[in-house]
Chains A and B, each alone.
Chain A
Amino acid sequence: MTDDSLREEMHKDEVAAALVDHVKGAVASDSYGQTVVFIPRESWKEAVRFLKDDQQFTQCSDITAVDQLLRPDRALPLGVDGERFEVVANLLSHPRNRRIRLICQVPDGSEVESLFDLFPGTELPEREIYDLLGVHFAGHPDLTRLMMPDDWDGHPLRKDDAPGRVPVQFKESQAPR
């Protein structure tokens, strides 16, 4: 694919085009008719701020993450290097009645900026991601476990956290857990 045709593809969607122009290293893509933009980790918060302030995106309707440990060779658009975790945010614009999905690649052990300052509604979901997948959010006011007990070891939604790892305890078991 030549640079020109690649650029043309990107510019199909005006919001994605504006975002790609604004954020260095962002790559626009399309998944079953939905606009997806891959954002470099260091510009994650700036990209969301741009969409919120300049593009009328009023709500972060969902934020989640995926552990891509078993899919290192997954299909990604040109210019995006796959890392272990993908943080995925679905933004919704009520005035423009449209959605956009942002995906950020996060290596294991690194952190990504929290969106709490922009959308306080990401407080519980980001805690959930931290709890279940172990992705850290810098600037989150209270990054503690949400679903699992406070003394839990590990992050259950990780692909290397096998189900059945913790044996089910029946009565009067002597096992520590």
Chain B
Amino acid sequence: MTLSPRDLVLGPEAWPESDETMIVNLGPQHPSTHGVLRVVLELEGETVLRAKPVIGYLHTGMEKTGEQLTYVQGSTNVTRMDYAAPLFNELVFSMAVERLLEVELPPRATWIRMLMCELNRVSSHLLFLATNGMDLGAISMMLYGWRERERVLAFFEKVTGLRMNHNYIRPGGVAVDLPPDWRDDLEDILDVVPRGVAEYDELLTENPIWLERTVGIGVITTEQALALGASGPILRSTGVPWDLRKAQPYLAYDQVDFDVIYTENGDTFDRYRIRLHEIAESLKIVEQCMERMPEGDYRVQDRKITPPPRARIDESMEALIHHFKIFTEGFKVPAGETYVAVENPRGELGCYLVSDGSGRPYRLHIRGASFYNLQMLSTMVQGGLVADGIAIISSIDPIMGDVDR
């Protein structure tokens, strides 16, 4: 396979000289661009000759901000990157810090993290299904998807105090234990969400209009996906059963039973189908977490990393000092560098962390899955219609907070 630079990267000088073509800006404020993505399209009639994503409208310098914050504060910053899947950002940051600290988590902390992340994957995929439906004209899909997602977010609010940007997963464990009746709430979610998913399946999967709009649209090959750095559902839609949860297990994914969903066609319909079925797989993991949640601590009982319990502060001078130290200057992390990757709903989310031995990261780099996946856009839309472009942008599921950081 050859991907010529001309096809991938477009400057005005690369565009063919013709009076028949037209340059059109899609976005940055079009609803179908999922935030502030701008796509420069070169059209001949309704056919897209070339497309180039222009990003940076949501750049807020979070990697620079990460260098100013202590490790304790760090997860409040990273959680705002991929705002549809915030727990994964916290997870990857915390795992990187823990690797440099070389701390071992208690099993309950690991399982709580896994439970919350899988629920987050469900809520993120529900968001995708809702917006994907709406982008293609199935407006009611937006309401249905939101309806089920709300149940998951309500659970997040109960556990973490916030619906989004939780700052729940922190270096050393999680912020608080699960509430006493967490199993009842999950029973509810496990009942409601699959019924909703069955409804979407009925509404969309066999729907001739839906099939017309998605089947065979934006087809990519495995070679293209690998060359352009794609991961997650986009890579899996081309027939590669690659999922970091299976391939390079972290947390306790090697102890739970689930399947990696993949398809062969690499089109927009497959990317929709994979996410639809991944919800069921995630709920399978949630169910296993409910059955097998270990007892014990939800964070490391190392006073240098996690604050002491509130009750201890009244009795122990040392506990008070530790509490004060952690929240004023944080803890120090040994000098070193590491790269940690997890599978978030959009693909490989990586964190490259460099420490110089102080209480703040020397360099914090997040490899956003959306950032790399977005590079597929030019290849996918080439030769298609403008209206298909909308379906394709939607099927990449880019979260601009993760793209621009």
Contacts and interface: CB of A to CB of B under 8 A. Distances in A.
B208 interface: no
A99 interface: yes
Nearest to A150: B56
B365 interface: yes
A140 to B, nearest CB: 9
Nearest to B338: A32
A142 B9 contact: yes
A121 B223 CA distance: 11
A94 B240 contact: yes
A121 B336 CA distance: 27
A119 B363 contact: no
Contacts of A94: 226, 240, 242
Contact of A88 (B64, B348, B352, B356): B352
Given A124-B374, A156-B61, A62 B339 contact: yes
Interface string A133-152: 00000000110011111000
A66 interface: yes
Nearest to B404: A147
Given A58-B226, A61-B231, A61-B348, A121 B55 contact: no
B341 interface: yes
Interface in A57-100: 58-62, 64, 66-67, 70-71, 74-75, 88, 90, 94, 97, 99
B260 interface: no
B339 A124 contact: no
Contacts of B99: 32
B226 A59 contact: yes
**Chain B interface, >50% SS class:** mixed
Contact of B56 (A31, A125, A141, A146): A146
A58 B231 CA distance: 12
Contacts of B102: 32
A144 B102 CA distance: 40
A147 B365 contact: no
Nearest to A58: B226
A123 interface: yes
A58 B230 CA distance: 11
B44 interface: no
A45 to B, nearest CB: 15
A156 B59 CA distance: 12
Contact of A71 (B226, B240, B362): B362
Nearest to B229: A121
25 contacts: A32-B99, A32-B338, A34-B338, A61-B350, A64-B365, A66-B354, A71-B362, A88-B337, A88-B352, A94-B240, A97-B248, A117-B5, A120-B3, A120-B227, A120-B228, A121-B227, A121-B375, A124-B372, A141-B5, A142-B10, A146-B55, A147-B405, A157-B64, A163-B65, A163-B68
User: Which 10 pairs between the two chains have the least Cβ-Cβ distance?
Assistant: A121-B229, A147-B59, A62-B367, A121-B228, A147-B56, A141-B5, A141-B9, A64-B365, A66-B363, A142-B9
